[in-house]
């Protein structure tokens, strides 16, 4: 299984400031034939299902605000929220869909400082 | 727009079989991969398995011996059966679409208790 490890486990950021969450996979999730990293990011607010934010490591899902961006390739990835808003308080998960079993990171809890 | 809705018993006894159904509304179940994912209270996400509309399946090896996922295209539904449940199977169970889970149901809490 590919193990996904996120850092930090929790993060407190002031409103309007930048938030950065990291995700590392135990093996590459980059498919060389199409040069795509099979990595997604989700936001889960309390009491709600996860919501897809980013796929192919850096493609923003339709309707997701452009303050959310994803970067990275291979084994190291980052989710950045450029200017934190109150509604961004949530747990964020990365997930690989390169190979089964699909696996998630342990989650990063983002709070307002 | 397409919506997913999980349904099934909220309480299952230990050693019995958990059965859930996901109904796809507003669109066809065809030509997509459909997954079950679970989340124990206060914990992270675990992929259980998927089914393609052709009926081909892929299960998480950690659960493979106990899991069956099936599809009924005539009803636009797919289902999960998890046998020999224990308290460790208590979780919110979600259905979701595709490999990058772009669409989720709201989830249903299943508690395993006598």
> Which residues of chain B fall below pLDDT 50?
none
Read off the pLDDT of residues A2-38 as tens digits, 9 standing for 90 and up.
999 999 999 999 999 999 999 999 999 999 999 999 9
User: If DSSP states are collapsed to H, E and C, what string results for A51-102?
Assistant: EEEEECCCEECCCCCCCEEEEEECCEEEEEECCCCHHHCEEEEEEECCCCCC
Task: Match 């179940």 to its residue by tokens.
Answer: B29
Q: Tell me the chain A residues in contact with residue B60 when contact means C-beta distances shorter than 8 Å.
A: 100-101
Q: Measured between alpha carbons, how far is B80 from B7 in angstroms, rounded to an integer?
A: 10
Tell if the CB–CB gap between B45 and A51 is shorter than 8 Å: no
Q: Is B87 exposed, middle or buried (0-12, 13-18, 19+ CB in 10 A)?
A: exposed
Q: What is the pLDDT of residue B31?
A: 83
Smallest Cβ–Cβ distance between A104 and the set B44, B61, B103 belongs to B44
* Cβ <8 Å between B102 and A61: yes
Buried b (16+ CB within 10 A) or exposed e, A38-72: bbbbbbbeeeebbbbbbbbbbebbeebeeebbbeb
Closest CA to A41 of B58, B109, B27, A110: A110
Considering CB atoms only, which of A51, A55, A104 is closest to B45?
A104
Place of tokens 């796809």: B24
Reply yes or no on whether the pLDDT at A44 is more than 80.
Answer: yes
pLDDT score for B54: 77
If DSSP states are collapsed to H, E and C, what string results for B49-100?
EEEECCCCEEECCCCCCCEEEEEECCCCEEEEEECCCCHHHCEEEEEEECCC
Confirm if A19 and A84 have CB atoms less than 8 A apart.
Answer: yes
For B35-44, what is each residue's pLDDT tens digit?
A: 999 999 999 9
Interface of A with B in 5-24 (CB under 8 A): none
Nearest to B105 among A38, A49, A97 (CB): A49
């Amino acid at each position: 299984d590919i193990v996904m490890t996120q850092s930090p486990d929790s993060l407190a950021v002031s409103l309007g400031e930048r938030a950065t969450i990291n995700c590392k996979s135990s093996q590459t999730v980059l498919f060389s034939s199409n040069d795509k990293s099979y990595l997604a990011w989700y936001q889960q607010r309390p009491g709600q299902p996860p919501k897809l934010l980013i796929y192919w490591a850096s493609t923003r899902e339709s309707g997701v605000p452009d303050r959310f961006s994803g970067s990275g390739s291979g084994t190291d990835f980052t989710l950045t929220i450029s200017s934190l808003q109150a509604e961004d308080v949530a747990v964020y998960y990365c997930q690989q869909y390169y190979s089964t079993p699909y696996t998630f990171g342990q989650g990063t809890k983002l709070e307002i400082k | 727009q397409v919506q997913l809705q999980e349904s099934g018993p909220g309480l299952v006894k230990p050693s019995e079989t958990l059965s859930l159904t996901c109904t796809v509304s507003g669109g066809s179940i065809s030509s997509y991969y459909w997954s079950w994912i679970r989340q124990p209270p206060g914990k992270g996400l675990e992929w259980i398995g998927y089914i393609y509309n052709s009926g081909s399946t892929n299960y998480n090896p950690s659960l493979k011996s106990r899991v069956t996922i099936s599809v009924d295209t005539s009803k636009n539904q797919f289902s999960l059966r998890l046998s020999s449940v224990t308290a460790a199977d208590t979780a919110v169970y979600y259905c979701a679409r595709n490999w990058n889970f772009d669409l989720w149901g709201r989830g249903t809490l299943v508690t395993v208790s006598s």
